[in-house]
Amino acid sequence: MVDLVDWAAIRAAGPKVFVGYSDVTALHEAFAVRTGFATLHGPMVAAGTFLSDPATQESLRATLFEPETVLTLGRETARALVPGRARGVTLGGCVSLLAADLGTRTAGPRRAAGCCSWRTWEEPYRLDRILTQLLRSGWLDGVAGLGLGSWEECGPYEEVRAVLADRLGGLGVPVLEEMGFGHSATAQTLPLGLPAVLDADTGTLTLDVPALR
């Protein structure tokens, strides 16, 4: 779909609400590169997580209708993989889609950004390959901080955590894990393309401005 979109028409029409996750990561990237518009990394409303989890429903509802009330995102599970505090512009999505998008017309260079990523149904060795590809390509060069979401069904979390620490710990930036977005029991709606502060020590991501105006 991404190569069939009339991006000139999208830019002319102005910002609209665009919500989704998983494979939709490719479109989030395209919106960022081709239009500069912010988008919402949020749940699919027909998915089981949204239908059964009130916290997931409320996160999306508040972001859409009361965006000024959800400037700070964080879950009780969030903790520092690498401590510290960083400022940047939010970007990201499903990490395997970010890797698959490398080299395309809608994958742009990243500088001074805060990258948020997650994945599910990947063995730890596959995650190692995906993260290594992002590192070797230079996609993570200049990243200010990293927020990590769900890694469900990727094997024992301690094994996954060891891969994350090995591949991302050397970047020298704060890394916040278990933020609670993507394919997780509770999926927060995460605005992309907005300035924010990632605080790994407090387990929060704080937006400078509301997701919608």
With respect to residue 1, please indicate whether it lies within any of the assigned structural domains: no
Across the range 94-112, mean pLDDT stands at 81
Higher pLDDT, 7 or 154: 7
Q: In total, how many domains does the chain have?
A: 1
Q: Is residue 213 part of a domain?
A: no
Average pLDDT, the chain: 91
Indicate whether 202 belongs to any domain.
yes
CATH of the domain at 191: 3.50.30.60
Any domain includes 2: no
> For residue 134, what are the domain limits?
7-207
Percent of all residues in the chain with a pLDDT value above 70, rounded to a whole number: 96
Annotate 71-96 with three-state secondary structure. Answer: CEECCCCCEEEECCEEEEEEEEEEHH
Angle at 118 between CA 145 and CA 21, to 5 degrees: 110
Q: pLDDT confidence of 108, banded at 50, 70, 90?
A: low
Give the total residue count for the chain: 213
